């Protein structure tokens, strides 16, 4: 497997794993990950990301199909939204901070 990177260090070529797995990463103008279609035979999953003006990831839309890779369609996607406090900490159900301002408990990004 080999990946290619642009001048910003962003992966732009597909990752290929013996013909059974392929992932392409798409970036927006600000250099943020905007989409990641992933084919893991026979399932194709499309992940799309949205950001706020402070570059915080605020939205994840996920679609999957066993036929063709799905076209971006919010009505067919599972959408997760994220919120942040004024000082940039992830906020909402399942997120909290201890006295040392460490996030507790940790929740994985998809």
Write the pLDDT tens digit of every residue in 49-98: 999 999 999 999 999 999 888 999 999 999 999 998 888 888 877 676 66
pLDDT in the model for residue 22:
84
Q: What is the reported pLDDT for 78?
A: 95
Over residues 4-10, the mean pLDDT reads 59
Rounded distance between C-alpha atoms, residue 56 and residue 3, angstroms: 26
Is there a contact between 78 and 62 (Cβ–Cβ < 8 Å)? yes
Q: Is the pLDDT of residue 110 over 70?
A: no
Ranges of each domain in the chain: 15-104
Distance CA 56, CA 104 (A): 19
92: left (phi over 0), alpha (psi -120 to 50) or beta: left
CA geometry: angle 100, 104, 108, nearest 5 deg:
135
pLDDT at 9: 60
């Amino acid at each position: 497997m080999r990946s290619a990177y642009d001048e910003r260090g962003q992966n732009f070529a597909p990752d290929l794993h013996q013909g059974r797995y392929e992932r392409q990463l798409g970036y927006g103008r600000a250099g943020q990950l905007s989409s990641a279609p992933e084919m893991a035979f026979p399932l194709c999953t499309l992940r799309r990301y949205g950001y706020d003006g402070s570059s915080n990831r605020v939205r994840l839309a996920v679609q999957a199909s066993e036929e063709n890779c799905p076209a971006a369609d919010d009505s067919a996607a599972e959408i997760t939204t994220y919120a942040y406090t004024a000082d940039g900490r992830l906020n909402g159900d399942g997120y909290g901070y201890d006295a040392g301002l460490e996030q507790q408990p940790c929740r994985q990004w998809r």
